[in-house]
Structure 1
Amino acid sequence: MYYIELLSKHEIQDKDFLVFYDNFDCVFTQYKENNMYNIEVLFKYHKDIELFVDFCSNKKNLSQNPIHSLVDKPKIKTFRYEEADNWINYLGPINITEDFRIVPPWHSLSESNDIIINPSLAFGTGHHETTRSCLDLLLKTKDSFFLTKPINSILDVGTGSGILSIFSSLIFQCKVNGIDIDLEAINQSLSNLKLNSKVSNVDFKLKNLEEVDGNFDLIIINISLDYLLSKLVLVEEKLNKSGVLIISGFLFIDIKDLNLLLKDAKFVIINIIHLNDWVSMVLKKK
């Protein structure tokens, strides 16, 4: 595995990393050291580093992106997987509530409510705003007054690491189906499922939304606004009457586009979380 090291006087916002996830198979980390922010960009292949630097240097629409000015002379490094283990040690436990926390395997104390997620290239460690917001909204949905019937079936679209599927299974105690079109994500979600022996009613499959059979009481989509807008009619069809939809993965500046579409859809907004620049919502089918 390879990575480049960039230094910045200012913290880079998550929204400035977003464009790179659409173009590269990479992972960003950032930490403060000696009054500077150290940004490390990890790649599976060495050739991707040159493509990344070229992309940052030549992409016109990156002129306002702070990373654009940091890649002139990047430090290129290589590390073995045991060194990668040292790098991700800083990803400590995340407290969701007093009762639940997300932990990497090396921090697990075998506590009954620990959800063990192994950080990887699959999206979803609990550190990103969209994942944290979805976890919070799942808890709020479970205890909400607007539920007219129990949640007995859940679909997690774009499951990534499987974190939302595993957590949903624990709090709702029902069958959860997690799907993704990325084979690596499915492999990682299956590995994470094995780490959580108390969870047994989750099924991860490599498939797209169109291939899913049946209907669900709750659907979770933490991907992107473009995906959501293109699939909203299909999602509506796959939700049971009075079903719940949790959506995330889009920025506050894009919320107007979503509101315009929701006017014509059969949903009402129940709850909204705005965390930094990211927005997550709970919708209920009319």
Structure 2
Amino acid sequence: MDYLEFKIQCLEEFREILIAELAEIGFDSFLETEDGIDAYASEADFDREKFDELISNYQNAAQITLTEGMMPKVNWNEEWEKNYDPIEVEDLVYVRASFHTPQPGFKYEIVINPKMSFGTGHHATTFQMLRHQGEIDHGGKRVLDVGSGTGILAIMAHLLGAKEVEAFDIDDWCVDNGNENFDLNGVKTRMGLGTIRDVNPRGTFEIVLANINKNVLLDEMEVYAGLLPSKGFLLLSGFYTEDIADLLDAASPYALKLVKMSSKDNWAALILQKS
């Protein structure tokens, strides 16, 4: 099967957004590059009209330049291995793929084979969420990972001593990849499929993790708050620093108070606690 290859140069903050959008219209493999992303779709499944519309919608905001070509008989594993580097989150955790050599000097190690799922530790939002997790006691706690992607945050919760971890995502390919990554890291949890309202988690969770996007976070804030006991923590990311005020305004009616905020590459992350 021949694949269409699109080399997309764009602003860094739009990479994951474009990957998510392209996945919705039939693209099935991605590589992050220094300048943006390479995106691949089988020639048989490619929808030119939807693709042109998507690119047009983001052309100016993301400063997109595009080169199109053909790549026959791609060895995806080889291409992926050439473009995936390990990630160091301070001395807390070393995030690597299965073909990387383990490194000493870190408290924890996570093995992630991301395929086309999101959350490898490379993006500023995932990096900050991992760092904030390291600042909160997970020992013996129930943890909920909303929109889990590769499962990296759920795996981190397991390593930090969580008693029970529940995770889910809206995309079935994320669920498959997340479960593979859980197996690689000795996590017995199985990832669920659906939104938080579809999955309808039961009971309370002392820690809720949600690295999604602003609109989803605003829409689901009441649900997160309802799952938290008094003194429970809500960790949020997936939005820009200029959106912090909107998130805090949405959290305030549910007794969620700011404990800490951080930013990296204009992406923000918050630790909130229910009073």
TM category, shorter:
0.7 to 0.9
Which is further off, 234-243 or 129-138?
234-243
Q: Is the 8 A contact 1:125 1:163 kept in 2?
A: yes
Correspondence 1:100 to 2:88: no
> What is the alpha-carbon distance in structure 2 between the residues aligned to residue 125 and residue 19 of structure 1?
15
> What is the alpha-carbon distance in structure 1 between the residues aligned to residue 32 and residue 266 of structure 2?
18
Correspondence 1:132 to 2:108: no
How far has the Cα of 1:191 moved from its partner? 0.6
Number of equivalenced pairs: 264
Amino acid at match of 1:196: N
Aligned to 2:39: 41
Q: How does 1:194-213 map to 2 (within 5 A)?
A: 194-197=183-186, 199-200=187-188, 202-210=189-197, 211-213=200-202
Q: Is the 8 A contact 1:24 1:52 kept in 2?
A: no
Q: Is the 8 A contact 1:17 1:28 kept in 2?
A: no
Q: Is the 8 A contact 1:2 1:46 kept in 2?
A: no
Amino acid at match of 1:5: K
Q: Is the 8 A contact 1:88 1:119 kept in 2?
A: no
Q: Is the 8 A contact 1:270 1:284 kept in 2?
A: yes
Residue 263 of structure 1: SS of its match in structure 2? helix
Aligned to 1:249: 238
Instruction: Quickly say closer, same or farther: Cα 1:178–1:161, change in 2 above 3 A.
Output: same
Amino acid at match of 2:125: T
> What is the alpha-carbon distance in structure 1 between the residues aligned to residue 191 and residue 158 of structure 2?
12
Aligned to 2:112: 117
For structure 1, the residue ranges without an aligned partner over 5 or more in a row are: 32-36, 144-149
2:252 counterpart (253, 256, 263): 263
Amino acid at match of 2:93: F
How far has the Cα of 1:252 moved from its partner? 1.4
How far has the Cα of 1:176 moved from its partner? 0.6
Aligned to 1:90: 83
Correspondence 1:66 to 2:53: no
Amino acid at match of 1:4: F
Cα deviation per residue 1:100-152 (whole Å; 9 max; x = unaligned)?
21110100439794211002111111111110000000001239xxxxxx551
Aligned to 2:69: 76
Q: How does 1:219-238 map to 2 (within 5 A)?
A: 219-238=208-227
Instruction: Quickly say closer, same or farther: Cα 1:104–1:227, change in 2 above 3 A.
Output: same
1:30 counterpart (26, 33, 56): 33
Q: Is the 8 A contact 1:176 1:203 kept in 2?
A: no
Q: Is the 8 A contact 2:142 2:162 kept in 1?
A: no
- Normalising by structure 1, we get a TM-score of 0.82
> What is the alpha-carbon distance in structure 2 between the residues aligned to residue 30 and residue 98 of structure 1?
25
Aligned to 1:17: 15
Instruction: Quickly say closer, same or farther: Cα 1:96–1:65, change in 2 above 3 A.
Output: closer
Instruction: Quickly say closer, same or farther: Cα 1:159–1:44, change in 2 above 3 A.
Output: farther
Q: Is the 8 A contact 2:11 2:36 kept in 1?
A: no
Q: Is the 8 A contact 1:157 1:222 kept in 2?
A: yes
Instruction: Quickly say closer, same or farther: Cα 1:167–1:21, change in 2 above 3 A.
Output: same
Instruction: Quickly say closer, same or farther: Cα 1:259–1:98, change in 2 above 3 A.
Output: closer
Instruction: Quickly say closer, same or farther: Cα 1:107–1:19, change in 2 above 3 A.
Output: closer
Aligned to 1:50: 48
Residue 234 of structure 1: SS of its match in structure 2? helix
